[in-house]
Structure 1
């Protein structure tokens, strides 16, 4: 048994605990992947009708440039498999501040629109959501997972919400107690193993000293101790 063994054992215990938590509370970590299905811009903010650089951006995330969107009044459609997809991930019960912008070299980016982007926006059964701004753009976003997240959330908030919450709290309590017991057990085994190692070292040292003492007694019996 080595330090690496105990480290791997603790890591496996934590991994098992995390897996159980995700299994019983999937909504905590659930999120929907959002892709752009289509977009049409009605105007650009660049001077001299230059080709715009249109991009999507959520606060705290990297911006996603639409390399093909260069002309007004043209409907651009996408498969969701483009190299710049997906746009973002929307967690359940939490929105993001996102927007559509046009890059401007000489000044801050021009804003087509900014809005609170939520998984609950995807109400259609196919997971689509249309967002538009008058005289600016029309965009269709796709998030099939968001529909399932919303349905699961509605189901949980129904007539069985209280019972489900109670069951989940009970399961969480059991998991926490199991984790504490497992941690204490591991620490106890580690302490016992270290105590056994210490006792073994003491016994080895005692045997080693006894060998020396026995050797000295043998020399005394043979009279070798008197020889210079």
Structure 2
């Protein structure tokens, strides 16, 4: 008569195996591509609330909770953040999906005022930074430390070409100044 041999995991049920394997899968870097987006800096140029002493500004992505920016109160003041604030990160981008996000101001009488709404995408981040500007409303710098460096984009190409022309002109100017100095 054959005796049964039990595996060491024989006391573990199928749901436990699935739970453990999913925890291992999601803890491996790159297996679940989630990118944390933080606010690096913001400056508001206009407030819409006339009754209160200070506006209540918040960031919101569709389907998520509102993230109140408690320090942002004054117009024309540059606020800098370091990603360590209790309300950071603002949101996370999963994979290649974009989110509809915006910057808003609470309104006591009618619906909240909109500074701007936009599609927040990983492609917006060049070298981990995305600057969102709305004329006469605000200027914000968003940071995604885990985003890959974008190379070969039209904006990167423009700056590389522009910086090359500046260096070339400076070199010609130096050569001309040297030539003039020799003639004196």
TM-score (norm 2): 0.69
| Equivalent in the alignment of 1:97 | 100
| Equivalent in the alignment of 1:10 | 14
| Equivalent in the alignment of 2:72 | 69
Deviations 1:160-197 (A, max 9, x none): xxxxxxxxxxxxxxxxxxxxxxxxxxxxxxxxxxxxxx
Distance 1:10 1:87 in 2: 37
4+ residue stretches of structure 1 with deviation over 3 A? Answer: 15-27
| Equivalent in the alignment of 1:155 | none
Greater helix share, structure number: 1
Shift of residue 12 of structure 1? 4.2
Alignment of 1:1-228 (within 5 A): 8-15=12-19, 17-18=21-22, 26=30, 29-47=32-50, 50-124=53-127, 127-147=128-148
Q: Quote the RMSD (CA, aligned, Å).
A: 2.8
Shift of residue 48 of structure 1? 5.5
Distance 1:51 1:8 in 2: 57
Residues 120 and 146, structure 1, Cα contact 8 Å, conserved in 2 = no
Shift of residue 22 of structure 1? 5.3
Which structure would you say has the larger Rg?
1
Greater strand share, structure number: 2
Structure 1: stretches of 5+ with no match in the other structure: 152-228
Deviations 1:34-58 (A, max 9, x none): 1100000001001167311110000
Q: 1:76 to 1:86 in 2, by over 3 A?
A: same
The 3-state SS of whatever aligns with 1:35 is strand
Distance 1:33 1:66 in 2: 17
